[in-house]
Amino acid sequence: MPGAIRRIRPSELQLQKVVRTLGGAHVHLRLGEWKDERTQIRWPCCVKEASLTRSKREKRSEEAAARLKHEAQVLSLASAHKSVIDLYGVCPVGTRIPSQSDEIFFQTVLEQCAGGTLFDLFPRSSIRQGLWWLYEIADAMSYVHSCNIVHRDLKPSNILFADRNSGLRVADFDSSVIVDNALDQRLSGSVGTLKYMSPELLLGVDYGKPTDVYSFGILAFEVLTKSHAHEGLVSALPGNSSRRAFEEAVVQDQLRPSFPSHLENLYVSHQIDSLGELKNLVSRCWSADETRRPTFLEISTSIAEIIQAIDHRVSKTSPNLERTFVLSGFGVCGKRSSMEDEFLSVVLENHSRAMAGVFDGHCGDEVAGFAKERAKTRFESNNNAKADTDFPDSSPLRLVAPCSAFDLLQGVEIDVQTYIAAKAQSMGSTASIALVDHEFIDVAWLGDSNVVLCERAVAGSSIVNTTDLTLSHVPASKNERQLVESFGGIVSRLKSVQDDGNEYPYGPFRVFDDQGCGGLAVSRVLGDLDLRPYVSGIPSSIKLARDPKHLFLILATDGLWDVFSPNEACRLVMEMLGAEPNKALTRTRSRTGEIDVIAELLQRNKVFHAAKKLSSLAVERGSQDNVSCVVVLL
């Protein structure tokens, strides 16, 4: 039976004015913020809505509202799994949208997933990333099936991401069905997207849970090959001749996608020998005989074993295996009356991962200080986390993904609201964090504390380039201004009366609420809850693979970047560290095999003095702000 569904008051929602259309003109999507009246925590959300006013006179609107209600019932069962989109609740009959006060809607309030779909992302994914996505989908679908739910429209465009570098969410359950497993209930009716539909669905005969496994097989082919199955072969229009021919080919001739020949060379070049195993698994998924298809539990276990084998092989051959992480930071009060900046540098005991962070507080230092401690706690606790095996039909082999920078920083944002909300009403902090392991650099940020990467033009070259990995969240930016104004906020500059009696604008553009109150110079922060939703707490992120050309990162608050260009900062650090700054990162061992701790301490001392020199020189150059920075050798 469906679980209890939270009833959300219209007053708890603040939604953007922008309306997107789904399913014709009868279902709309809005992004916004849900303020839980019980906890006072603000959650980014998306709202699906269907008009109840029009449903009285339009059958399709009535059907759209019914489908949203059905989806909410299904998600009340399925969304307990972390890789299924979370249902926050529903706004039932009587909900009114302020901008359309004469129209009544039924609304489902869902976790916000604005980072794109699997359809958008899989063409550019790595082999391991693609396998991880397939594992997450199979693990989620194993739980969905254990709840006796058949999705019936599993495809890449229904796999969503909160952020491009965070975990995925299986979504769009409006076509799904809850079956009675005790009665071995079978389904009928043609539902779904044509090329992902199983032969039994196309034939119009009874079907069950294995129809989702067939869809997964087609999806898995697309992710593994980074191509679209059956491209150019089919038009989904009902009655279209190519549709009928395609249906006949799938059912009668067992038409299936063909793996390209170049895929073997690609896997061999990455020293991955599991392609044959993956092909066999996918072929079993799209078997014409549904009884021969594997369960999602079998699929997730098989993919998990492949991922573990790849990781084991990489860990034995990685040139970074014996490399350590050297990072250090420094902060100065500068010309401000008090120090409101914080910085953070942490290396895990097993030297598998490191985190650096800078936090620029305003109107006090409490939010920045709290965020620093919570980021450290979350980072260390996540890396000790174990897989949850309490779900029904849970595989004995379940994997845990390292926490992404986006998820970590969003978690800190929720912690700020949970534990120090009273102080965070009019106080806040920018935040930038970088998570570094032997494979990736993962950066997330809120505000204008930028992160710069210094790298050689080519490996071994003396020419050094700089790349700003972050794009400041300031209201002068076109995209950030649109975000503020979509909620009814105001972007303007402060004004002062001059000698001629006229008002003139001065200073940077700032964010004001719909009444003209506020005036924050950044558009995304931790805290500043009085200015929500005009100021956002949703981070941006970027993730890139480690490269031999990479030399170091500089994370710094805006007090440094006010007086230093990225090129100038990188040149200064290079002067402090020498021509080969990361040469000493390979962990030096004595004849007895002991780590040479002295060599590491000497290198860390160099990095500390580079961070100190940058911060101090920024004040000497006239920076009016606090200055904090962290240097991370790569």
Does residue 93 sit in the same domain as residue 133?
no
Place of tokens 């490191």: 354
Given a contact cutoff of 8 angstroms between Cβ atoms, the answer to whether 554 and 135 are in contact is no
d(CA 334, CA 350) in angstroms, rounded, equals: 36
Alpha helices in 452-596 (DSSP H): 478-486, 558-561, 566-577
Q: Which tens digits make up the pLDDT trace of 520-529?
A: 999 999 999 9
Report CA dihedral (136, 139, 143, 144) to the nearest 10 degrees: 60
Does residue 285 sit in the same domain as residue 421?
no
Does residue 606 sit in the same domain as residue 465?
yes
Residue 461 is which amino acid?
Answer: S
Q: Compute the average pLDDT of residues 83-95.
A: 85
CATH number of the domain where residue 140 is located = 1.10.510.10
**371-374: long-range pairs with CB below 8 Å, 24+:** 371/342, 371/412, 371/415, 371/416, 371/429, 371/431, 371/526, 372/342, 372/343, 372/344, 374/411, 374/412, 374/415, 374/416
**Is 490 a member of any domain?**
no
**Is 531 a member of any domain?**
no
**Is 257 a member of any domain?**
yes
Which residue, 60, 90, 111, sits at the end of a domain? Answer: 111
Domain count across the chain: 3
Q: Compute the average pLDDT of residues 526-547.
A: 95
**Is 506 a member of any domain?**
no
Cis peptide before 566, with omega less than 30 degrees from 0?
A: no
Does residue 429 sit in the same domain as residue 574?
yes
CATH number of the domain where residue 59 is located = 3.30.200.20
The predicted pLDDT at position 589 comes to 46
The predicted pLDDT at position 24 comes to 59
Does residue 298 sit in the same domain as residue 354?
no
Does residue 463 sit in the same domain as residue 555?
yes
Given a contact cutoff of 8 angstroms between Cβ atoms, the answer to whether 387 and 400 are in contact is yes
Does residue 222 sit in the same domain as residue 241?
yes
**Is 499 a member of any domain?**
no
Q: Which tens digits make up the pLDDT trace of 327-346?
A: 999 999 988 889 999 999 99
Given a contact cutoff of 8 angstroms between Cβ atoms, the answer to whether 296 and 145 are in contact is yes
Phi, psi dihedrals of residue 111, rounded to the nearest 5°: -55, 135
Q: For the chain, what is the mean pLDDT?
A: 87
Which residue, 68, 95, 111, sits at the end of a domain? Answer: 111
**Is 428 a member of any domain?**
yes
CA angle 213, 214, 215 (to 5 degrees): 90
Which residue, 111, 141, 168, sits at the end of a domain? Answer: 111
The predicted pLDDT at position 337 comes to 87
**Is 597 a member of any domain?**
yes
Given a contact cutoff of 8 angstroms between Cβ atoms, the answer to whether 195 and 229 are in contact is yes
d(CA 301, CA 306) in angstroms, rounded, equals: 9
Does residue 129 sit in the same domain as residue 195?
yes
Q: 341-347 and 327-332 as β-strands: parallel, antiparallel, unpaired?
A: unpaired
| Residue 561 domain boundaries | 327-471+541-633
The predicted pLDDT at position 582 comes to 61
Does residue 246 sit in the same domain as residue 394?
no
The pLDDT confidence band at residue 587, using thresholds 50, 70 and 90, is: very low
H or E element at residue 103: strand 100-111
CATH number of the domain where residue 570 is located = 3.60.40.10
Does residue 210 sit in the same domain as residue 293?
yes
**Is 558 a member of any domain?**
yes
- Is the confidence at residue 173, as pLDDT, over 80? yes
Does residue 47 sit in the same domain as residue 191?
no
Does residue 139 sit in the same domain as residue 224?
yes
